[in-house]
Structure 1
Amino acid sequence: MEEAGLTISGSKFACCVPSLDIVGHVVSFKGRTILKQNINKMTNWPTSLKKKEIRGFLGLCAYVRMFLDNFSQVASPLRMLTREDVDWDWDQKCEEYFHKHRQIVGEEITLKKLDYDKGTGKIKLAVDSSYIAVG
């Protein structure tokens, strides 16, 4: 390591631990989940009527988009509101999509590695696209 110019920080080094908090995620033998404080931040995000706050919410959700099914589609009405050329109109549809995001994140989804062993079921890859979403 010394030849490569690498150093190890004793205070940041962890070995043989059941899980690690890494850049907003918890990584363990079970898989990868969203850090609990980020889940709390998203599920407790107040309903907002300002573009800046919706941008912040969407930014936090985008950070964990790998956990969210159909993220682009669910986020589309909210993302449209943040555009400068669109008048602010927080309607029932926006309210529903906002609460849907919070609900999905609150489910505490775990991403696991694929298990290719016989008998684990079929792996299905489905891809779809539209003018507003790909997923």
Structure 2
Amino acid sequence: MLYHSKEEQLQKKIKRIENWPTPPNKKLITGFIGLCAYVRMFIENFSQVESPLRRLTREDVDWDWDQKWEEAFHKLRMIVGEEITLKILDYDKGAVKIKVEVDSRYISTGAEQTQEEKEKKERIVLYE
């Protein structure tokens, strides 16, 4: 399938995530997580949000879809569907500084990259 732009490709992936049915097995939840990973850089605390679902894909965990998995699944779908606005990183010689902040927890690690604007206000460039 050919796309006219990266924006169109991104929107199609987001639409697929929003319409993904409740997964009946580990194979389909793994596919859902993989598709969501495509947009992870746009989502704050992505690894923390998807970690309950990732845990369910482990071989030593029995498939037992219950309310907590359903809530985690819908939360991830909802977050991906929200409108996300990020600043484009400016690499020009006169550009202001770029800052990376890392947050590590027991279940997840995340990072936020920001760049200061001329008004001394930081704008988010990406999440990881």
Query: Pairwise CA RMSD of aligned residues?
Result: 2.5
Following superposition, the deviation at residue 114 of structure 1 comes to 4.7
Alpha-carbon separation, structure 1, partners of 2:75 and 2:51:
12
Following superposition, the deviation at residue 109 of structure 1 comes to 1.2
The runs of 5 or more residues in structure 2 that have no matched partner are: 91-97, 111-128
Partner of 1:57: 32
Following superposition, the deviation at residue 124 of structure 1 comes to 7.3
Partner of 2:77: 102
**1:23-66 residue CA offsets vs partner (Å, 9 max, x unmatched):** xx32xxxxxx8622111100000011210100000000111110
Partner of 2:47: 72
Structure 2 residue identity aligned to 1:71? F
Partner of 2:108: 133
Larger Rg: 1
Following superposition, the deviation at residue 125 of structure 1 comes to 5.2
Following superposition, the deviation at residue 67 of structure 1 comes to 0.9
TM-score scaled by structure 2?
0.69
Structure 2 residue identity aligned to 1:99? H
More strand by share: 2
The runs of 5 or more residues in structure 1 that have no matched partner are: 1-11, 13-19, 27-32, 116-122
TM-score scaled by structure 1?
0.65
Alpha-carbon separation, structure 2, partners of 1:57 and 1:128:
25
